[in-house]
């Protein structure tokens, strides 16, 4: 369906996020560190007027998960909330300065194999300011139209011998994007459809376990 980048769409997505029965936030296990990512909604570049989300390709120089597709985000600093972290990381990675009034909602926490508990924060970037990717953290930025994540064939699930859990994959521009990113985008897609679909049990590929 068409999702124009306008106040009507902003209100509709905010209502979907508010209706989503988010699982209660829990203190992470001792081995897990708090982190947050921003599901950032912007206007598409290729088809002006439509709504898209931002996806980054992590720089090859980073110590962990280098060269992987990811939502803007990172580890929570001491005393920082998930919302504060997501907004700070969005500014540090992409030069996009948003406030708490731009937050539309939160999705379920997702525990990763690499030791993080990620809180996804949905934000609306109404500003027309150009993105300014930080080259030490970001190699590329893609705007993925919401229509693309809502396609029936956008996601698939495969089995791996190392786990009994299903591995989720999101197909984009000839690449497979895996969990946690794929799982979080998938849950957001489900929220847009009015479904409370859980994703914490969806598996990551083995290369993302470290």
**pLDDT at residue 63, as a whole number:** 56
CATH of the domain at 120: 3.90.79.10
Q: What is the CA radius of gyration of the chain?
A: 16
Q: How far apart are CA 37 and CA 41, in angstroms?
A: 13
**What is the rounded distance in angstroms from the CA atom of residue 34 to the CA atom of residue 44?**
31
**51: phi then psi, degrees, rounded to nearest 5:** -100, 135
Please count the residues of the chain: 210
Residue 157 lies in a domain: no
H or E element in which residue 19 lies: helix 7-19
Q: 69: which 2 tokens?
A: 């597709």
Domain assignment of residue 165, yes or no: no
Residue 207 in any domain: the answer is no
Predicted local confidence at residue 210, as pLDDT: 76
Q: Which range marks the domain in which residue 51 is found?
A: 7-148
210 residues of the chain, pLDDT tens digit each: 678 999 999 999 999 999 999 998 767 677 899 999 999 999 987 666 899 999 998 765 555 555 678 899 999 999 999 999 999 999 999 999 999 999 999 999 999 998 999 999 999 998 766 788 887 778 888 899 999 999 999 999 999 999 999 999 999 888 899 999 999 999 999 999 999 999 999 999 998 877
Q: Are 70 and 89 in contact (CB under 8 A)?
A: no
Q: What is the pTM of this model?
A: 0.93
* Residue among 197, 191, 196 at smallest CA distance from 16: 191
Q: Is residue 102 part of a domain?
A: yes
pLDDT of amino acid 40: 97
Query: Is residue 2 included in any domain, yes or no?
Result: no
Could you give the 3-state DSSP secondary structure of residue 44? coil
* Enclosing H/E stretch for 152: none
- 3-state SS of the chain: helix, strand, coil percent to 5? 25, 35, 40
Are residues 66 and 209 in contact, defined by beta-carbon separation less than 8 angstroms? Answer: no
> What are the C-alpha distances in Å from 129 to residues 11, 54, 143?
21, 14, 15
Q: Is 98 inside any structural domain?
A: yes
**Buried-exposed string 100-111: b where 16+ CB fall within 10 A, e elsewhere:** eebbbbbbbbbb
Strands 116-124 vs 33-43: parallel, antiparallel or unpaired: parallel
Q: Strand locations in 30-89, DSSP E?
A: 33-43, 51-58, 69-70, 73-75
Total domain count for the chain? 1
The pLDDT of residue 46: 64
Two tokens, residue 14: 């905010």
């Amino acid at each position: 369906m068409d999702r124009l980048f306008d106040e009507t769409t902003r209100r509709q997505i905010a209502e979907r996020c508010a209706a989503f029965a988010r699982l209660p936030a829990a203190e992470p296990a001792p081995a897990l560190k708090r982190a947050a990512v921003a599901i950032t909604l912007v206007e598409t570049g290729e088809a002006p007027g439509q709504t898209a989300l931002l996806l980054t390709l992590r720089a090859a120089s980073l110590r962990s998960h280098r060269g992987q597709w990811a939502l803007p985000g990172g580890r929570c600093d001491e005393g920082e909330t998930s919302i504060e972290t997501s907004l700070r990381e969005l500014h540090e990675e992409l030069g996009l300065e948003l406030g708490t009034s731009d937050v539309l909602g939160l999705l379920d926490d997702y525990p990763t194999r690499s030791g993080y508990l990620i809180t996804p924060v949905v934000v609306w970037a109404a500003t027309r300011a150009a993105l300014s990717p930080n080259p030490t953290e970001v190699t590329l930025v893609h705007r993925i139209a919401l229509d693309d994540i809502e396609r029936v064939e956008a996601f698939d699930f495969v089995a791996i011998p190392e786990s009994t859990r299903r591995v989720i994959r999101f197909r984009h521009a000839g690449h497979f994007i895996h969990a946690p990113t794929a799982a979080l985008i998938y849950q957001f897609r489900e929220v847009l459809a009015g479904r409370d679909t859980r994703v914490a049990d969806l598996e990551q590929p083995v290369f993302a376990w470290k």
